């Protein structure tokens, strides 16, 4: 049984395949978290209590004991898990145990994305109910163990059972104490065009915040943190990690207290979210996914990949191989017409591409990025036959057709803005800050949500559209709503995200066979919340393969390759100006959902042949690339080489990808050491026919024939024989 309760010592034992999470109802200290780590057998764990009494201390128990749900006014001085201001103007909250229930299956979270199950037997859920006697605030802490996926989910449901309004100021979806302070924090930091760089920092004697206040999870930080030991590597050692299934502002913390113990937490960002909870009302926090790995960072990522690919992502495309696409953005930007589009599509068909995507610029009068967002009506100057006309012509060439939208935005120069100037996020009397010359529609308003649903749906109904790229190109500034009373203005960011989720749910379920890909100025909202609605995301606007090594490597800490859009673009690269070979560009793009982002008509015949070959390879191995197990082998953040592998088809098909940044003189021969293969099995290299034992590939390594140029790559395909 993945969750048990021992009545005599009052311990809840949550067990995944390899982890345990032990909670205790302590008569004086309340709900404690005694342990989270490698799986323990059932049995005595309460002896750990003695280790928290310590010597005489200035501090109260709440700061010394491993409280599971820290609140204010208890003597706990870190980031509270729950905090509610009451009508008396204080935020004292003392939660005491009321009841608990252990039930099969997992509840869906109303209006929010969350891990789901397909059968109750996949999960067991524990709900512990606690209450503050004076205010009537009830907290239902919900834990679900997904035993086979070896992960835990956690969220809170907060209900006002009192007679007066409460203001929720802190709502951390998960907050877990860990023993000791010898941890290093890993977060995924970045900016536009350099998303999710892996940053690893020893915890100091100060609290650390990883956060977004942008109204989107954002380019700058990803809603994920991991704590690891100093000796944790990709292949070995412990990692405790949390990822939030949410697309808006968030806060993750790592705090070391004055007893040298650590707490990590993740949830909504209190800087930009406060919620008024009226008597009788409830508030559901987003869900956090918690993963513990004793098998290093790859063990952590394997667990995130499995759960995100199979139980966060949903729908028709979840388990299907994804089409090889070509997108016209970097080929034409806004300057296209039907003929140009069809020329690109024709050339793409010849090398085996399956889907053509028409990017920004097809609607309104959008010749630049300064107008027309909101006016989702085709520009007949560019496309005289409308979207239907161009889609049909693309179909006749033998390609499916996809279309770009940026539905959450409004240009001040648009018919929509002229008709509804109050539909954007704004504050009356203040200027409306434009970014990329656009404002954000106020999706906290139902009428605005309805407009977006209908505007996008009517285009999708009007033509044979098989794919949608859903873009979002700025963050929030005036994140307030003309539709709310002053006391609820600080709810706007979260209400926006709830509105967005309603829009996404309605549109994606009305067009179940359309493949949706998220995008936000590249990968600015690449999070598990978005992946619940759209199974893939544009990883970055930076398509320089050398930069992409780091971006894709970092993204893979949480998100599986099947979620990452990765395209071959022109050389020199439009973002960095770096020139690279077509082989390097294709070999890096093979690490995600493969596509092109250039005008193939401008390539040499030799380059076209290389593209044709790359498409052939992708088609032959995409089952393994998209559904196999992905493992990082060498980090581009640490050396001149990068490498990763995919193992699919129950271990029978293996793809190894290795890359070199700069050529070195007289370099010697670099070897890559694979992992997770069957030591006694034999693997045949598809190109050379050479056969290797799994043990040799893992322990003796595979030599890489030196490449005498910068930015080189090696791809090996092995078949188990």
Give the interface with ligand DGJ as residue ranges (CB under 6 A): 329, 359-360, 404, 471, 473, 519, 521-522, 538, 541
CB of 538 to ligand DGJ, least distance (A): 5
- Chain position carrying tokens 């560009």: 585
- Are the CB atoms for 484 and 491 separated by under 8 Å? yes
When the beta carbons of 186 and 519 are compared against ligand DGJ, the nearer one is 519
Cβ atoms within 10 A of the Cβ of 721, count? Answer: 9
Helices 446-462 + 386-396 axis angle, to 10: 40
Angle, alpha carbons 534-539-543 (nearest 5°)? 140
CB of 541 to ligand DGJ, least distance (A): 5
Nearest residue to ligand DGJ, using CB?
360
- Return phi, psi of residue 491, to 5°: -90, -10
Catalytic residue list contains 541? yes
CB of 215 to ligand DGJ, least distance (A): 17
Cβ atoms within 10 A of the Cβ of 701, count? Answer: 14
CB of 189 to ligand DGJ, least distance (A): 19
- Are the CB atoms for 618 and 625 separated by under 8 Å? yes
CB of 540 to ligand DGJ, least distance (A): 8
| CA 62 distance to own-chain centroid | 33
CB of 406 to ligand DGJ, least distance (A): 7
When the beta carbons of 68 and 527 are compared against ligand DGJ, the nearer one is 527
| CA 15 distance to own-chain centroid | 25
When the beta carbons of 155 and 327 are compared against ligand DGJ, the nearer one is 327
The 10 Å CB-count burial string (b at 16+, else e) for 89-117 is eebbbbbeeeebebeeebbebeebbbbbb
Beta bridge partners of 152: 145, 290
When the beta carbons of 329 and 501 are compared against ligand DGJ, the nearer one is 329
Q: Indicate the pairing of strand 467-470 with strand 515-518.
A: parallel
Beta bridge partners of 469: 404, 517
CB of 703 to ligand DGJ, least distance (A): 38
Question: Which among 360, 375, 471, 599 is annotated as catalytic?
Answer: 471
CB of 515 to ligand DGJ, least distance (A): 16
**CA–CA separation, 585 vs 713, rounded Å?**
9
**CA–CA separation, 90 vs 102, rounded Å?**
34
CB of 441 to ligand DGJ, least distance (A): 16
Between the two ends of the chain, the Cα-to-Cα distance in Å is: 39
**CA–CA separation, 113 vs 101, rounded Å?**
23
**CA–CA separation, 155 vs 191, rounded Å?**
29
Question: Which among 132, 541, 587, 653 is annotated as catalytic?
Answer: 541
When the beta carbons of 304 and 526 are compared against ligand DGJ, the nearer one is 526
**CA–CA separation, 677 vs 51, rounded Å?**
42
Q: Indicate the pairing of strand 208-212 with strand 250-256.
A: antiparallel
Quick one: CA torsion of 669, 675, 678, 679, rounded to 10 degrees? Answer: 50
When the beta carbons of 497 and 519 are compared against ligand DGJ, the nearer one is 519
Cβ atoms within 10 A of the Cβ of 687, count? Answer: 10
- Are the CB atoms for 288 and 154 separated by under 8 Å? yes
When the beta carbons of 574 and 619 are compared against ligand DGJ, the nearer one is 574
Q: What is the DSSP letter of 378?
A: B
**CA–CA separation, 618 vs 678, rounded Å?**
24
When the beta carbons of 405 and 641 are compared against ligand DGJ, the nearer one is 405
- Are the CB atoms for 445 and 464 separated by under 8 Å? no
CB of 361 to ligand DGJ, least distance (A): 8
When the beta carbons of 368 and 418 are compared against ligand DGJ, the nearer one is 368
- Are the CB atoms for 32 and 23 separated by under 8 Å? yes
CB of 483 to ligand DGJ, least distance (A): 28
- Return phi, psi of residue 63, to 5°: -85, -25
When the beta carbons of 369 and 685 are compared against ligand DGJ, the nearer one is 369
CB of 214 to ligand DGJ, least distance (A): 16
**CA–CA separation, 569 vs 584, rounded Å?**
11
CB of 359 to ligand DGJ, least distance (A): 5
Q: What is the DSSP letter of 157?
A: E
**CA–CA separation, 280 vs 278, rounded Å?**
6
- Chain position carrying tokens 């990803």: 222
When the beta carbons of 404 and 641 are compared against ligand DGJ, the nearer one is 404
- Return phi, psi of residue 220, to 5°: -75, -45
Q: What is the DSSP letter of 369?
A: T
Based on DSSP, count helices (H) and strands (E) in the chain, helices before strands: 14, 38
**CA–CA separation, 443 vs 458, rounded Å?**
19
Tell me how far CA of residue 446 lies from CA of 58, 78, 472, 495, 500, in angstroms.
52, 37, 19, 10, 10
**CA–CA separation, 10 vs 335, rounded Å?**
68
Which residues participate in catalysis according to the annotation? 471, 541
């Amino acid at each position: 049984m993945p969750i048990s309760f021992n009545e005599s010592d009052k311990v809840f034992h949550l067990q995944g395949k390899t982890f345990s999470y032990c909670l205790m109802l302590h008569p004086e200290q309340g709900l404690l978290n005694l342990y989270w780590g490698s799986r323990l057998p059932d049995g005595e764990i309460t002896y750990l209590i003695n280790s928290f009494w310590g010597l005489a201390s200035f501090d109260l128990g709440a700061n010394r004991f491993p409280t599971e749900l820290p609140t204010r006014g208890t003597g706990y001085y870190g980031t509270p898990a729950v905090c509610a201001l009451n009508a008396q103007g204080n935020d004292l909250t003392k939660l005491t145990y009321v009841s608990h229930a252990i039930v099969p299956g997992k509840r869906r979270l109303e209006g929010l994305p969350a891990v789901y199950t397909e059968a109750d037997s996949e999960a067991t859920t524990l709900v512990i109910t606690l209450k503050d006697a004076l205010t009537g605030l009830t907290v239902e802490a919900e834990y679900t163990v997904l035993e086979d996926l070896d992960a835990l989910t956690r969220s809170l449901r907060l209900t006002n059972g009192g007679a007066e309004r409460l203001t929720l100021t802190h709502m951390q979806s998960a907050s877990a104490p860990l023993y000791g302070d010898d941890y290093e924090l890993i977060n995924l930091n970045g900016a536009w065009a350099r998303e999710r760089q892996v940053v690893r920092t020893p915890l100091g004697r100060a609290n650390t915040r990883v956060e977004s206040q942008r109204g989107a999870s954002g380019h700058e930080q990803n809603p994920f943190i991991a704590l690891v030991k100093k000796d944790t590597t990709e292949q070995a050692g412990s990692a405790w990690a949390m990822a939030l299934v949410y697309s808006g502002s968030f806060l993750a913390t790592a705090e070391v207290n004055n007893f040298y113990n650590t707490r990590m937490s993740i949830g909504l960002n209190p800087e930009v979210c406060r919620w008024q909870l009226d008597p009788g009302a409830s508030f559901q926090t987003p869900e956090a996914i918690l993963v513990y790995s004793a098998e290093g960072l790859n063990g952590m990522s394997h667990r995130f990949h499995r759960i995100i690919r199979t139980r966060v992502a949903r729908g028709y495309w979840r388990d299907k191989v994804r089409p090889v696409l070509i997108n016209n953005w970097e080929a034409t930007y806004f300057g296209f017409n039907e003929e140009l589009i069809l020329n690109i599509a024709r050339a793409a068909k010849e090398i085996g591409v399956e889907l053509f995507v028409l990017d920004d610029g097809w609607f309104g009068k959008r010749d630049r990025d300064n107008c027309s967002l909101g006016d989702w009506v085709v520009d007949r100057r560019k496309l005289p036959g409308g979207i239907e006309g161009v889609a049909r012509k693309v179909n006749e060439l033998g390609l499916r057709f996809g279309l770009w939208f940026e539905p959450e935005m409004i240009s001040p120069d648009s018919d929509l803005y002229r008709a509804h100037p109050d539909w954007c996020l704004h504050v009356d009397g203040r200027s409306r800050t434009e970014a990329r010359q656009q404002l954000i529609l106020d999706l906290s308003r139902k009428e605005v949500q309805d407009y977006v649903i209908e505007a996008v749906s009517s285009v999708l109904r009007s033509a044979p559209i098989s794919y949608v790229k859903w873009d979002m190109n700025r963050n929030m500034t005036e994140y307030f709503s003309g539709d709310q009373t002053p006391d609820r203005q600080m709810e706007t960011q979260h209400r926006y995200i709830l509105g967005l989720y309603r829009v996404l749910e309605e549109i994606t379920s009305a067009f179940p066979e359309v493949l949706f890909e998220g995008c936000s100025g590249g990968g600015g909202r690449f999070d598990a919340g978005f992946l619940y609605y759209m199974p893939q995301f544009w990883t970055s606007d930076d398509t320089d393969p050398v930069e992409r090594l780091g971006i894709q490597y970092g993204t893979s800490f949480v998100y599986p390759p099947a979620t990452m859009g990765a395209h071959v673009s022109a050389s020199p690269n439009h973002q960095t100006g770096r020139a690279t070979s077509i082989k390097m560009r294709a070999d890096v793009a093979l690490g995600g959902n493969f596509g092109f982002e250039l005008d193939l008509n401008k390539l040499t015949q030799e380059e076209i042949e290389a593209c044709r070959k790359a498409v052939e390879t992708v088609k032959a191995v995409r089952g393994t690339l998209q559904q196999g197990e992905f493992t990082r082998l060498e980090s581009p953040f640490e050396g001149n080489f990068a490498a990763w592998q995919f193992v699919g088809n129950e271990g029978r098909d293996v793809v190894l990808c290795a890359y070199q940044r700069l050529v070195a003189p007289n370099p010697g021969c670099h070897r890559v050491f694979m992992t997770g293969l069957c030591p006694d099995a034999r693997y045949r290299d598809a190109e050379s026919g050479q056969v290797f034992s799994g043990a040799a590939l893992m322990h003796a390594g595979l030599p890489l024939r030196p490449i005498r140029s910068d930015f080189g790559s090696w791809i090996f395909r092995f078949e188990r024989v």
